[in-house]
A and B are shown apart, each in its own frame.
Chain A
């Protein structure tokens, strides 16, 4: 999942980036509203975390600009002022949820995951496809009730596919969303990871949870 953080306070920005990376996100950073607006418009972000009190262009303006140019990724706002006027203003401008400063990271992460699930059409924190279960809160994966150990990258890959269950996800999209930098990556890397993930989820090769659509990408079935 590719996450954009728009926050002017460097300490907070770096801490958040660090914590989201640990949680398995590809993180893009912006230090003000102008940069934020640009990144949100130009990068393939899945979700943005935006501080409302930014120097120059405000967070509200950036969100409005994204919505105006048709960008519909979910937006979580961070606000220092815990007033309904501020919250209503942010949600009206096109944000989807808010967290009041100061906050615990777990709170922010939970909101971000909930927003991602919602935008993928899931209403529960537990994502299911056939016998495969992925718990977004504990980051646990079970197949037919048995826990499966995945590396961080494998988990991110599976989570992305499950959040978009029922949709075809191209290798290019996966490369874009799972890596922060835009440099060219060999799409074979993705093939290798998908291969490993398949072996872990389906050692016997009789369930085929991840479908390959030749020349188009991968798909996990939606229950």
Chain B
């Protein structure tokens, strides 16, 4: 609306500018005509017997035809001369400029015709050496020019109105086209809210693709998190049923000796601990700030040095300079902590940790590669998938140890990354985690 008003004002201003420009030029042309006539009159004029200054022949035919619209008169103290065209016109110019000067004036004829007049005062040298002042006046009817101006003005007005309307229509169409993706976004977000679709579609214009990409990442992250919570809750409830049933059975059958009760309690305790461990991490988010990887790894090394002080494995940390990755500090500590803990547990004396950025052509920001190796016995290929699945299913027996790897893999997966088990050059296992960039 504001834009439309501005547009109309612009068109109006343009019309007004053109109009005044045209009037200005027209007026100057009128001045030129009058001046040319004055000069023509002077050049052909001579003093007659009565001492008047009279043009000897009128080259301009409009001066001879009455009512032609071009008039002239020469006035002096000795009488005046008027062009034939001025006869009966009631021409009445009053300006009497000082000698050598000119003055323009507007006047009206007897019939109401508006004229522009020019009066030039000159001093004429007479033959006897004396001189006399004359005022030479020319006037031209402005009516034809006014009609022209009115016509141009009408043309400008209608032109600017048409132009304004065309611009408005164009603007409306352009806005409609420009806002169409926003309307689509609005609809799709409403659809996501209502659960009619999971993510926003593709094919957004360049200006919106950043926003929709981030929105989709956010949606996917939240969805993953929600799924994980649901799974965790489901697993927790489901897996608690068995020991609960057993406990109830023991009590109802009157065999509730403390030992068998304690066994079921232990089982429940393990289940809770296990599920909690899987629920702590937060997963990928678009709002994470970069975590300095080296610092977190050093912290873990310090902590593990205490926990494994009797074994005191030699732990080397090699982080490529400036390696940072947008991940929740708790998630990274959990991921690297589980891997380094395992490495310290299973190594014979040496643990090596490496971290470096990892790039791909599609990413503006690099991913993260984390390698944790030890010189223990390693994990045989046939056992690798089993180790990673450990504790993933609720009804599986939960071993007190060894869920570290599967938790680490879940954290990696929550960040759309991968975890692979391989062989270390140190002789033991090498766990490689790859977290993607963006």
Same complex for A and B? Answer yes
Report which A residues bind B (CB closer than 8 A): 81-85, 87-88, 91-92, 95-98, 100, 102, 104, 114, 118, 123
User: Does the CB pair B334–A84 fall under 8 Å?
Assistant: yes
Bound complex: CA A221 to CA B96 (Å): 140
**B340 to chain A: closest residue by CB:** A84
A-B interface, 10 closest residue pairs, ranked by CB to CB distance from nearest: A84-B337, A91-B303, A84-B333, A85-B330, A88-B303, A85-B333, A83-B280, A102-B269, A88-B299, A84-B334
Q: Which residues of B contact A118 (CB under 8 A)?
A: 309-310
Given that A83-B334, A88-B337 are contacting pairs, would A97 and B307 also be in contact in the complex, using a CB cutoff of 8 Å?
yes
- Residue of B277, B299, B306 contacting most chain A CB atoms (<10 Å): B306
Q: How far is the CB of B435 from chain A (nearest CB, A)?
A: 17
Bound complex: CA A98 to CA B306 (Å): 10
In the complex, how many residues of chain B place their beta carbon closer than 8 angstroms to a beta carbon of chain A?
23
Q: Mark B255-272, 1 if CB is under 8 A from A, else 0.
A: 000000000001001001
Bound complex: CA A88 to CA B298 (Å): 10
User: Does the CB pair B333–A83 fall under 8 Å?
Assistant: yes
Q: How far is the CB of A170 from chain B (nearest CB, A)?
A: 28
Given that A88-B333, A97-B306, A114-B310 are contacting pairs, would A82 and B277 also be in contact in the complex, using a CB cutoff of 8 Å?
yes
Within 8 A of A (CB), among B164-184: none
**B304 to chain A: closest residue by CB:** A91
Q: Which residues of A contact B138 (CB under 8 A)?
A: none
Q: How far is the CB of B258 from chain A (nearest CB, A)?
A: 14
Q: Which residues of A contact B272 (CB under 8 A)?
A: 102
Q: Which residues of B contact A81 (CB under 8 A)?
A: 280
**A104 to chain B: closest residue by CB:** B266
User: Does the CB pair B310–A82 fall under 8 Å?
Assistant: no
Q: How far is the CB of A157 from chain B (nearest CB, A)?
A: 26
**A124 to chain B: closest residue by CB:** B310
Given that A82-B280, A92-B302, A97-B307 are contacting pairs, would A87 and B273 also be in contact in the complex, using a CB cutoff of 8 Å?
no
* Residue B33 CB within 8 A of the other chain: no
Task: Identify 6 new A-B residue pairs, CB closer than 8 A, beyond the known A82-B273, A92-B299, A97-B306.
Answer: A84-B337, A84-B338, A88-B303, A98-B307, A104-B266, A114-B310
Q: Which residues of B contact A91 (CB under 8 A)?
A: 302-303, 306-307
Given that A97-B306, A118-B309, A118-B310 are contacting pairs, would A102 and B280 also be in contact in the complex, using a CB cutoff of 8 Å?
no
Q: Which residues of A contact B299 (CB under 8 A)?
A: 88, 92
Within 8 A of A (CB), among B338-369: 338, 341
**B338 to chain A: closest residue by CB:** A84
* Residue B36 CB within 8 A of the other chain: no
Q: Which residues of A contact B306 (CB under 8 A)?
A: 91, 95-97
Q: Which residues of A contact B309 (CB under 8 A)?
A: 96, 118
* Dominant SS among interface residues on chain B: helix
* Residue B163 CB within 8 A of the other chain: no
**A94 to chain B: closest residue by CB:** B306
**B333 to chain A: closest residue by CB:** A84
**A102 to chain B: closest residue by CB:** B269
Bound complex: CA A84 to CA B277 (Å): 10
User: Does the CB pair A92–B334 fall under 8 Å?
Assistant: no
**A115 to chain B: closest residue by CB:** B309
Bound complex: CA A118 to CA B334 (Å): 27
Q: How far is the CB of A78 from chain B (nearest CB, A)?
A: 13
Q: How far is the CB of A186 from chain B (nearest CB, A)?
A: 39
A sample of 28 cross-chain residue pairs with beta-carbon separation below 8 angstroms, ordered by A number, consists of A81-B280, A83-B280, A83-B333, A84-B300, A84-B303, A84-B330, A84-B337, A84-B338, A85-B329, A85-B330, A85-B334, A87-B303, A88-B299, A88-B303, A88-B337, A91-B303, A91-B306, A91-B307, A92-B299, A92-B303, A95-B306, A96-B309, A97-B306, A97-B307, A102-B269, A102-B273, A118-B309, A123-B310
- Residue of A91, A95, A96, A97 contacting most chain B CB atoms (<10 Å): A91
Q: Which residues of B contact A96 (CB under 8 A)?
A: 306, 309
Q: How far is the CB of A143 from chain B (nearest CB, A)?
A: 26
Q: Mark B320-340, 1 if CB is under 8 A from A, else 0.
A: 000000000110011011100
Which of B276, B307, B329 is the one whose CB lies under 8 Å from A82?
B276
Bound complex: CA A87 to CA B341 (Å): 12
- Residue of B277, B300, B303, B338 contacting most chain A CB atoms (<10 Å): B303
Q: How far is the CB of B41 from chain A (nearest CB, A)?
A: 106
Q: Which residues of B contact A104 (CB under 8 A)?
A: 266
**B266 to chain A: closest residue by CB:** A104
Bound complex: CA A92 to CA B301 (Å): 10
**B281 to chain A: closest residue by CB:** A83
Q: How far is the CB of A120 from chain B (nearest CB, A)?
A: 13
**A123 to chain B: closest residue by CB:** B310
Bound complex: CA A13 to CA B97 (Å): 119
Q: Which residues of B contact A123 (CB under 8 A)?
A: 310
Bound complex: CA A114 to CA B266 (Å): 24
Bound complex: CA A83 to CA B159 (Å): 76
Q: How far is the CB of B335 from chain A (nearest CB, A)?
A: 8
Bound complex: CA A91 to CA B298 (Å): 12
User: Does the CB pair A83–B330 fall under 8 Å?
Assistant: yes
Bound complex: CA A87 to CA B337 (Å): 10
Bound complex: CA A114 to CA B306 (Å): 12
Bound complex: CA A51 to CA B269 (Å): 18
**B336 to chain A: closest residue by CB:** A84
**B277 to chain A: closest residue by CB:** A82
Q: Which residues of A contact B280 (CB under 8 A)?
A: 81-83
Q: How far is the CB of A9 from chain B (nearest CB, A)?
A: 16
